Amino acid sequence: MKFFFKIIAHLNKLILPSLTKKKVEPARASKFQLLLLGYRYFITKNSLD
């Protein structure tokens, strides 16, 4: 299962935009940006465990 999350994390890095490079603050982020942050956090957390 960890291998699956590692593949997804790598694909996310290639496809999804980096919100930290755009300097998006979580307090001012839109709902979609918050969803993206949460999704990337979940995938990253599971790929590192």
Secondary structure of the chain as H, E, C letters: CHHHHHHHHHHHHHHCCCCCCCCCCHHHCCHHHHHHHHHHHHHHHHHHC
pTM to 2 decimal places: 0.77
pLDDT in tens, 16-36: 888 778 888 888 889 999 999
Please provide the average confidence, as pLDDT, over all residues in the chain: 88
* The predicted structure's pLDDT at residue 26: 85
